[in-house]
Structure 1
């Protein structure tokens, strides 16, 4: 069993920081029952952290001790391994764009996968299923703006669009406008009025 544990640690150490692993990825090292047992022991010893149901990550070790990898790093790894799209929630996007002074109290992200929560160290991460139009351009400012507008809703969107029009460069505004066919009607109408007709 210790040989299997050592093999798992060696495998995990070769992965980029924050890359989640699952028991299924380790079946070349041993049986499912043995891998599950070894993963459980490694969590108990603090050598691995649970990052959701059936997912594990290696803590980052520094001269100050061990800590969980950053949430963003783990979510990038999770998105790569599961194939789902994951993006910051609209409240975080609105704050980052200066459309609200509210700072989100919880770590909430939107996903194309199922809604769920998991703990990473002492922090609870919530993944909420979202429609495809909110997950477009996940890593671009235009996508961030669309998620912020969706969170602000119909009543606050006109003022937010005026602010975005002043702050964002023209190519980003064009990207926002290009997503109109997939937006809900209320948002497509407002984006059309403010982005294309000024």
Structure 2
């Protein structure tokens, strides 16, 4: 009978390097307390890296760059998936993802339908803010970012250049998803997005 350590490392080795794992990835092997101890042990001996509370990875090893850990966005999405929660990028992070700013924020904020919390990832912070169902119900990868970016910019502050970038991005959104998401936006944002239908 293989030990929990062996079974966990075996499963991790079967998944590609860089894949994020949480305690819940191994609940069929043992209980949460035992799994946490095993993951901590494997981290101490260098088999794994702990990237955030409860999130572990066998990092990619690059000849030139050395150890490459998953990005903050990947970690945030894995955490939302683990918690079976919806999460929508907001604020300056939504602006960055759309190409409306070139500055990646140090602290990224997601609206979520799960509980509010902050997670430290190295020098960066992921903040999950509990929001209304309406704020996390958008289904289009691009249109949900556009709604949050426009909210951040604010009514009457949107420049023609920003709208040009937004229209270019929305041209790649699936029509059904765009139609669905426009209905969730405040009226002033709807008016700006409708020409893209």
The answer to whether the superposition gives a TM-score over 0.5 is yes
Deviation at 1:130, TM superposition (A): 3.2
CA distance in 2, matches of 1:171, 1:29: 43
Q: Which residue of the partner structure matches residue 113 of structure 2?
A: 112
Question: Conserved in 1, the CA contact under 8 Å of 2:182 and 2:194?
Answer: no
Is 1:188 aligned to 2:187, yes or no? yes
TM score, norm. by length of structure 2: 0.70
Distance 1:190 1:148, change over 3 A: closer
Paired residues, number = 191
Name 1:4's counterpart in structure 2.
4
Aligned equivalents of 2:7, 2:39: Cα separation in 1: 11
Over 3 Å counting, the alpha-carbon distance change for 1:7 and 1:87 in structure 2 is: same
Q: Retained in 1: the 8 A contact 2:142–2:170?
A: no
Contact 2:146 2:166 survives alignment (8 Å)? no
Tell me how far apart the structure 2 counterparts of residues 189 and 180 of structure 1 sit (CA, whole Å).
11
Aligned ranges 1:27-176 → 2 under 5 Å:
27-63=27-63, 64-100=65-101, 103-137=104-138, 140-157=141-158, 162-163=163-164, 167-168=168-169
RMSD: 3.6
* TM-score w.r.t. length of structure 1: 0.70
2 CA distance for matches of 1:78 and 1:98?
Answer: 24
1:53–1:152 Cα change, 3 Å: same
Structure having the higher helix fraction is 1
Listed as ranges, the gaps of 5+ residues in structure 2 are none
In the TM superposition, residue 148 of structure 1 has moved relative to its aligned partner by: 0.3
